[in-house]
Structure 1
Amino acid sequence: MRLLRDGTARMFTDRRDGGRRLAGLLRERPWSDPVVLGLARGGVPVAGEVAAALGAPLDVVVARKIGAPGHPEFGLGAVTPDGPPTYDERTLAVLGLDAGDLAESCAAERAEARRRVACYQGNRTPEPRRGRDVLVVDDGLATGVTARAALGAVRAGRPRRLVFAAPVCAPDAVAALRGVADEVVCVAAPEDFRAVGQWYDDFGQTTDREVVAVLGAARARR
């Protein structure tokens, strides 16, 4: 952990560094025909390091945050390209909202999720997941609502075991994923967690081009 001039602690240089640290926890475990899925976009560079360490194929899973009306950065739910959206029902109740109030935002985010899948997959057949150990990897776990949506979509493919892994996780979110994932693996779950980006020196936005490059490099390596 590094302490910057403003007193803020950083654990990871960038997403690849976080991925290598995470891979160190996962490398020695027994896996059954594993496949690693990066949660696009920021999870893909992390997942690339994990897949390389495990000698496993790398693929992608897409879930999009559904933001609060007028405050899109405040996630109330998430949606994948197909299937029903996932909502934080407790927060909806506190705000006096229901799914109908978020229908327009949900439709827009689903359309973006489908665009991303088309961009990343192209004509390539997704890596099979049935009967395999599947690791869904992200750059961090904050509220967990996007991870829950992604895990639900992957679970429908009937993996043997479903694991969520990230370099840094909010402790409350880890607890919320139990029962959704068979296991949650984090390098760190600090009590003073506020946002994923606070733990990285470099937390710039991952682009579509970077995602495609990481996926392409993983295919070439195998």
Structure 2
Amino acid sequence: MNWQAFAVKMASMARDLLAQESVTATLDKVTASAVELVEGCDAAGVLILRKKQVQTLSPTEPLVEESDRLQEKLGEGPCFDAACTGHPVFRIADVEKEQVRWRAYAPRAHALGIGSMMGFLLYTEDEDNLGALNLYSRSPGAFTDASETAGWLLASHAAVAFSSAREHADMQRAVATRHIIGEAIGILMARRRLTEDEAFDVLRRYSQENNVKLHEVARQLCEHGTL
């Protein structure tokens, strides 16, 4: 591993991650960078775990999704366990010979064409929404200690960028929600000659009585002209 060249590429990748305009674009950049920067990596993806339900994000190959579905079905695997337990990294040097930690998953993963793999904890700020960066090789023994270090550094950068991208997306949604609620209040004020507080109270009561979120009530009013 040429660590000097790796550091230069990581610095460039870190700048690119923060420049992405969406969560999806950020994760696409992360998984593509994993294949490019980590020695032995043939495919990569992000596994999101929500109450034992798995979602695959930004897979570079269908193999990644197949592995995630298998880990969800069996409730085990290095990527699943990294997200589930909060352990920073799991690694299988040779999937075919793995007989201790993931005895149900390993032979099925080998049948998929996986030779070796690593799973890195991606973020942990939300206990109900955990994730792992997962790296795959078709060859056994493809990942060295240097590969693991490189993967962990990449995952650390990815966690920061992912958190920033999610925060930005949340802010955009909040601004959009405030805007559409304000527009709905304006419609009610004009049509029913209400004050701003009275118009908001109409939206709030309708939301509670019909068990519909306030921003959805506002959206319906703006689109259809009626509650």
Task: Bin the TM-score by the shorter chain.
Answer: under 0.3
Q: Counting helix residues as a fraction of each chain, which structure ranks higher?
A: 2
Task: Give me the TM-score of the superposition, normalised by structure 1.
Answer: 0.26
Q: Select the structure with the greater relative contact order (CA < 8 A; seq sep ≥ 6).
A: 1
Which structure shows the bigger proportion of residues in strand conformation?
1
Scaled by the length of structure 2, the TM-score of the pair is 0.25
